[in-house]
C-alpha cells in the first residue's frame, strides 16, 4: 500500500513523528476499524480516526439524532434531528478525508449478528450506550480474536479499556449486566465535555494500538474522574469462570 503525494502532504505532521513515519501511516491506511455507536464517544473517535487516515471505517448505529444528543455529540447539528446517526457520521468522515472509506450500518448489534458485523476488522472500538450491546460486542471479539477497545462516559466518570481476548470486557463487568434495561445516559446524565475527553483518549489508545506505539495496554482499564480531573489505570484479572473468555 503506497501513499500519494496528496496523502504525503496531508499526513506530514504524522509522518514526521518517528513513532509513525511512512510505515505507520501506510499501516493506518491499510487498517479497517469498526466503531460501535455514533454517540458521544463516537463523536470524538470517528473524526480522529478519519483525520488520521484510517483506511476503512465501519460505523454501526441504529439511532437517529435527537435534540438531547447535541450537548455531547458534535458530529451532528440542529438540522440533523431525526436523521440516522450512522449515515451522518460516515458522511462526516468522508467529508473530512476523502481517502477514508466509511461504511454506515443502520443496525442494532446483538448476540445474533455481532460476529458477522465485526469480523474482518483490525480493532473494534465500542462506544455504545448499553451493556447488552457491550457484552455482545465483547463476546464476539473474543470469538473472533479481534482486540476490543471499550469506552464509556457517564455523569463525571469515564473508562477506557483495551481487551485482547483474555481478560475480556466481561471479566471486568461480570454477567449482571446482560439484561437489556441497564443504566444509560438517559437516566444518569453525562457532562458533554467528558465524552470528548474519554473519546479522545480512546482514539489515541486505538491509534497507538494499531501502530504498536508505547507499552501494550491490554488488560488495563483507564478510569477518568471528571471532577478531580485525574486518570488512573487498573489491571483486570482474567476470570477463570468468565462466560466470555473462560474456556477460550
Selected range binding Zn ion among 155-163, 167-175, 199-207, 210-218, rule: CB under 5 A: 167-175
Q: Which residue has the cell 489505570?
A: 233
- Per DSSP, the residues of 147-187 read -EEEEEEEBTEEEEEEE-SSS-HHHHH-STT-SS----HHH
Applying CB under 5 A, the site for Zn ion has a residue count of 6
CB nearer to Zn ion: give 87 or 126.
Answer: 126
Selected range binding Zn ion among 4-12, 91-99, 124-132, 164-172, rule: CB under 5 A: 164-172
Sites for Zn ion among residues 168-187 (CB under 5 A): 168, 170-171
- Per DSSP, the residues of 19-83 read TTHHHHHHHHHH-EEEEE--SHHHHHHHHHHHHHT-SEEEEE---B--GGGTTT-TT--GGGTTS
Site string for Zn ion, 109-148 (x = CB under 5 A): ----------------------------------------
Work out whether 49 is an interface residue with Zn ion (CB under 5 A). no
Q: How far apart are CB 31 and Zn ion at their closest, in Å?
A: 25
Q: How far is CA 35 from the centre of its chain?
A: 5
CB atoms within 10 A of CB 145: 10
Site string for Zn ion, 183-222 (x = CB under 5 A): ----------------------------------------
- Per DSSP, the residues of 83-108 read SBHHHHHHHHHHHH-TT-EEEEE---
Q: How far apart are CB 165 and Zn ion at their closest, in Å?
A: 8
Applying CB under 5 A, which residues contact Zn ion?
168, 170-171, 242, 244-245
Amino acid at each position: 500500500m503506497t501513499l500519494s503525494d496528496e496523502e504525503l502532504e496531508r499526513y506530514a505532521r504524522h509522518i514526521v513523528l518517528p513513532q509513525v513515519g511512512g510505515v505507520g501511516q501506510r499501516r493506518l491506511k491499510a487498517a479497517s476499524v469498526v466503531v460501535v455507536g455514533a454517540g458521544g464517544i463516537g463523536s470524538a473517535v470517528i473524526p480522529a480516526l478519519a483525520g488520521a487516515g484510517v483506511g476503512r471505517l465501519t460505523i454501526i448505529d441504529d439511532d437517529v439524532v435527537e435534540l438531547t444528543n447535541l450537548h455531547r455529540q458534535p458530529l451532528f447539528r440542529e438540522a440533523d434531528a431525526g436523521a440516522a446517526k450512522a449515515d451522518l457520521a460516515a458522511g462526516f468522515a468522508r467529508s473530512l478525508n476523502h481517502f477514508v472509506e466509511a461504511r454506515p450500518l443502520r443496525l442494532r448489534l446483538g448476540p445474533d449478528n455481532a460476529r458477522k458485523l465485526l469480523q474482518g476488522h483490525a480493532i473494534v472500538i465500542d462506544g455504545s450506550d448499553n451493556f447488552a450491546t457491550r457484552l455482545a460486542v465483547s463476546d464476539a471479539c473474543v470469538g473472533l480474536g479481534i482486540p476490543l477497545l471499550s469506552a464509556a462516559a457517564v455523569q463525571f466518570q469515564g473508562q477506557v479499556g483495551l481487551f485482547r481476548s483474555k481478560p475480556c470486557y466481561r471479566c471486568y463487568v461480570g454477567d449482571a449486566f446482560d439484561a437489556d434495561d441497564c443504566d444509560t445516559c438517559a437516566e444518569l446524565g453525562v457532562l458533554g465535555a467528558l465524552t470528548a475527553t474519554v473519546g479522545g483518549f480512546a482514539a489515541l489508545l486505538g491509534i497507538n494500538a494499531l501502530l504498536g506505539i508505547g507499552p501494550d495496554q491490554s488488560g488495563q482499564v483507564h478510569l477518568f474522574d471528571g471532577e478531580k480531573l485525574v486518570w488512573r489505570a487498573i489491571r483486570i484479572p482474567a476470570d477463570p469462570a468468565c462466560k466470555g473468555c473462560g474456556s477460550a
